Amino acid sequence: MRRFGLATLFGIALLNFFLAYSGHYLSSQVRQFIADHHTKPSSFSLIALAIPPWFYFIAAVAAVAAILGLTRRLGDSGVVYTVVGLLLLDIIALLVSLWGVGVFLFPFYERVA
């Protein structure tokens, strides 16, 4: 169980670095879209566009937890609880980001198509 938890923590760290990088690119493209069409996004959409840098924080927490797990300073149950908590944070952040960006862009789908 410990190996699975540690491997999952390292996977969470790597994937969150990728999510932060790609999410930052997506948010910059959406911000450019907003500027090109001179629209005012909702406050929820602005919050969703600001989420990608937080994935770096989740990745750093996962990496620190994995290192603490490797050095046995974090017990088996702590590793498992950290994995579950970080995965729940990822799911919530991804859903908020997707919904905030999707709600903003939905009216433009008919015009572009």
- pLDDT tens digits for 13-29? 999 999 999 988 988 88
CA–CA separation, 43 vs 18, rounded Å? 26
The answer to whether residue 54 is domain-embedded is yes
Split at pLDDT 50, 70, 90, the class of 82 is very high
Give the dihedral sign, CA 37/49/95/55: positive
Split at pLDDT 50, 70, 90, the class of 105 is low
In total, how many domains does the chain have?
Answer: 1
Cβ(58)–Cβ(16) under 8 Å?
yes
Determine the average pLDDT of the residues in 58-68. Answer: 94
Determine the average pLDDT of the residues in 70-80. Answer: 91
The answer to whether residue 111 is domain-embedded is no
Tokens of 75: 């017990």
The answer to whether residue 98 is domain-embedded is yes
Split at pLDDT 50, 70, 90, the class of 51 is confident
CA–CA separation, 99 vs 5, rounded Å? 30
The answer to whether residue 112 is domain-embedded is no
The answer to whether residue 110 is domain-embedded is no
The answer to whether residue 113 is domain-embedded is no
CA–CA separation, 26 vs 9, rounded Å? 25
The answer to whether residue 60 is domain-embedded is yes
Question: What's the mean per-residue pLDDT of the chain?
Answer: 86
Split at pLDDT 50, 70, 90, the class of 64 is very high
**What pLDDT shows up at residue 47?**
83
Split at pLDDT 50, 70, 90, the class of 113 is very low
The answer to whether residue 65 is domain-embedded is yes
Q: Show the domain range for 99.
A: 2-105
Task: Match 């600001």 to its residue by tokens.
Answer: 50
